[in-house]
Amino acid sequence: MSGVDELLGNARAYARDFDKGDLPSAPARKTAVLACMDARLIPSRLFGLQEGDAHVIRNAGGVVSDDAIRSLAISQHMLGTEEIIVVQHTDCGMLKLTDEGFAGKLEEATGERPQWPVHSFDDLDENVRESVRRIKESPFIPRTDRVRGFVYDVETGELREVT
């Protein structure tokens, strides 16, 4: 059995007992979480979230890319979120590459250079600060007074706020 087949079995079991079909699309906690896609970080477990509680947006590095801004803008303008949490983490793969190096690797493998930025970084705390700054400076995000950034420690499970 493949990994996907096993996950599909889990999805069928989840659906058998599903009783949350009446939840509104707007998140109950009026919060959006932007986090890294790293499998060691599960925002719903970390923050004790259930279905319907918050929007969780994930990408490599938990960076504020144009697509993250797009999702956050929709979250606030269309679905009423008022707070944003940015979560990046220790031992992130984005700390171990460079934009130029990764773009070169893709070009070597495919014959094409990506048209999108990689958003690598070399200072975790500074990248969290920059991510919060990008959200606060975006003209598309109306509620920026409650944007906070954190670093999750993958070894201890602890969360540390970056100010």
Give the per-residue pLDDT at 146: 97
Mean pLDDT of 42-68: 97
Tens-digit pLDDT profile for residues 143-156: 999 999 999 999 99
Mean pLDDT of 19-45: 96
Give Cα separations from 57 to 63, 100, 115 (angstroms).
Answer: 10, 25, 22
Give the per-residue pLDDT at 99: 96
Q: Is the distance from CB of 27 to CB of 76 less than 8 angstroms? A: no
Decide if domain 23-162 falls under CATH 3.40.1050.10.
yes
- Kindly report the average pLDDT of the chain as a whole number: 96
Q: Which two tokens stand for residue 90?
A: 């220790």
Give the per-residue pLDDT at 1: 76
Domain limits, the chain: 23-162
Tens-digit pLDDT profile for residues 126-147: 999 999 999 999 999 999 999 9
| CB atoms inside a 10 Å sphere around CB 15 | 8
Give residue 163's Cα distance to chain centre: 19
Q: What is the pTM of this model?
A: 0.93
3-state secondary structure of 34: strand
Mean pLDDT of 51-72: 97
Tens-digit pLDDT profile for residues 93-121: 999 999 999 999 999 999 999 999 999 99
pLDDT at 24 over 80: yes
Give residue 87's Cα distance to chain centre: 7
